[in-house]
Structures are given as structure tokens and as C-alpha cells.
Amino acid sequence: MDIDPALVADVRWSFYNEAMKARPSTIDIALVAPASLKLVVYPDSILKKIAADVRQFDDWLVAVTERMKDVMVEHKGVGLAAPQVGLGLRIFVAAESAKREDAKVYINPVLTDERGSEEGEEGCLSLPTIRIKVPRFTHVRVEALDERGRPFSENLTDYTARIIQHENDHLDGILLLDRMSPVAKLANRRKVRELEERVKGPRK
Ligand SMILES: [Zn+2]
């Protein structure tokens, strides 16, 4: 199966417009204690927002990335994005091995040189019970900053490239639900409704 990069860009742009209407306040973010961060699950509205660039590199930020590694490992994930712990910032951590010592931090990442396409099964810590097949690029280049603000770049392929594309989607408010084919949407309708019904009462 092949994927048209122009089509992907179009999809991202439509989510961008929607998400810009509800951009998070950075003042609120700075008050969050890193140790209090925990996994946020669908349908929490933070998961649908565009995350903001990280502008300040300090001890708070390092503590946030350390906490994100903890949460990722605790939930047996191979990647975790900041919106998944309720922070609207462009940060994700990833480790193909799911081991804490292998977890790498990506801040303000930019993906380029996207090539090739392959369908593969994905799950998401914020969408428990749901697993779907998603087409992803088999090769991407990522340019990002580490937790101290030092730039680095990597050329990634296959599973690692898939993880990075999934996590990067989170920074643009894009979930697996948005990547579902009409058939998958239908097949997972009940599971999605169950997740939505877990939330009692309105949330911000
Ligand atoms: Zn996810």
C-alpha cells in the first residue's frame, strides 16, 4: 500500500486549524509539578490540541522528561508524548526496547525526508484496548533538541520510524482514531464508545 505525502499534509493541516482554536496556555503548564504527571486517556481534550514549542530549557523540563520515561515504562509503552501526560508541549520520549535506559528525548521535533510506506499494527497508551493497522513512512529523518536543548538528528527506519511518526502525531493532536480507515472505524466503534463512556460529567 502506498501513501501520498500531500494527502498526509492535508490531513495535518485540517487538524491544525481545529486545534489552534484551543491552544494551551503556557502559564498553566509552568505550574505543573513533574512528579504529578500521569497518563491521560481518550477522550481528554488535551489529546486533540496542537502542542506548543518548548522555549525554555531548565531543570523543570528535565524533570518532566524523566517523569515521562517513568510513565512510559510503567504502562509498557515504546513511546509517550507530552500531551499524553496532560502537557501541551512538543516533547516525546521513545524506546524501541521499552526499557527506561534506552528512552530518548525528542523536543520540538521536525520530521523530513519521509519515504516508503508500510502498514503495521499500532496501539496507543491513551487508547487502551484499541489496535489498528496504520500506514506509515518506512524512513524518516528527525531533527530535534534533547532535554538540555542540544540539537541532534537521526535517520530512522521501519519500527523506530513508525514509533516516531506515532508520537509526532500526538504533538499535532492527531490520534490513531484519526488514522483509521472507514472499516476500522466501524470495527472499533464499540470500543471507542466504551472509552468515551468512562468519563462521567463534562471535562475542560
Ligand atoms: Zn499514542
Flag whether 204 is in a domain. no
Ligand 1 mean position, distance from CA 193 (Å): 18
Ligand 1 mean position, distance from CA 133 (Å): 13
pLDDT in tens, 65-109: 999 999 999 999 999 999 999 999 999 999 999 999 999 999 999
**Under 8 Å between Cβ of 178 and 166:** no
Find the mean pLDDT for residues 28-54. 90
Q: CATH number, domain at 94?
A: 3.90.45.10
Count of structural domains within the chain: 1
pLDDT band at 203 (very low <50, low <70, confident <90, very high): low
User: Comparing 12-21, 89-98, 124-133, which segment has the lowest mean pLDDT?
Assistant: 12-21
Ligand 1 mean position, distance from CA 76 (Å): 12
Q: Which domain holds residue 194?
A: 5-198
Here the cell at position 111 is: 520530521
Task: Report d(CA 35, CA 16) in Å as an integer.
Answer: 30
Flag whether 26 is in a domain. yes
pLDDT in tens, 141-165: 999 999 999 999 999 999 999 999 9
pLDDT number for residue 198? 87
Ligand 1 mean position, distance from CA 123 (Å): 7
**Under 8 Å between Cβ of 91 and 81:** yes
Find the mean pLDDT for residues 7-18. 45
Please list the residues that pair with 106 across neighbouring strands: 92
Flag whether 111 is in a domain. yes
Ligand 1 mean position, distance from CA 25 (Å): 22
Flag whether 14 is in a domain. yes
Flag whether 203 is in a domain. no
The burial class, CB within 10 Å (0-12 / 13-18 / 19+), for 132 is: buried
**Under 8 Å between Cβ of 84 and 126:** yes
Ligand 1 mean position, distance from CA 90 (Å): 14
Flag whether 59 is in a domain. yes
pLDDT band at 32 (very low <50, low <70, confident <90, very high): confident
Residue 124, pLDDT above cutoff 80:
yes
Three-state SS for the chain is CCCCHHHHHHHHHHHHHHHHCCCCCHHHHHCCCHHHCCCCCCCCHHHHCCCECCCCCCHHHHHHHHHHHHHHHHCCCCEEEHHHHCCCECEEEECCCCCHHHCEEEEEEEEEEEECCEEEEEECCCCCCCEEEEEECCEEEEEEECCCCCEEEEEEEHHHHHHHHHHHHHHCCCCHHHHCCHHHHHHCHHHHHHHHHHCCCCCC
Flag whether 159 is in a domain. yes
Catalytic residues: 167
Q: Which one, of 16, 155, 29, 7, lies nearest residue 86 by Cα?
A: 29
Task: Report d(CA 99, CA 69) in Å as an integer.
Answer: 9
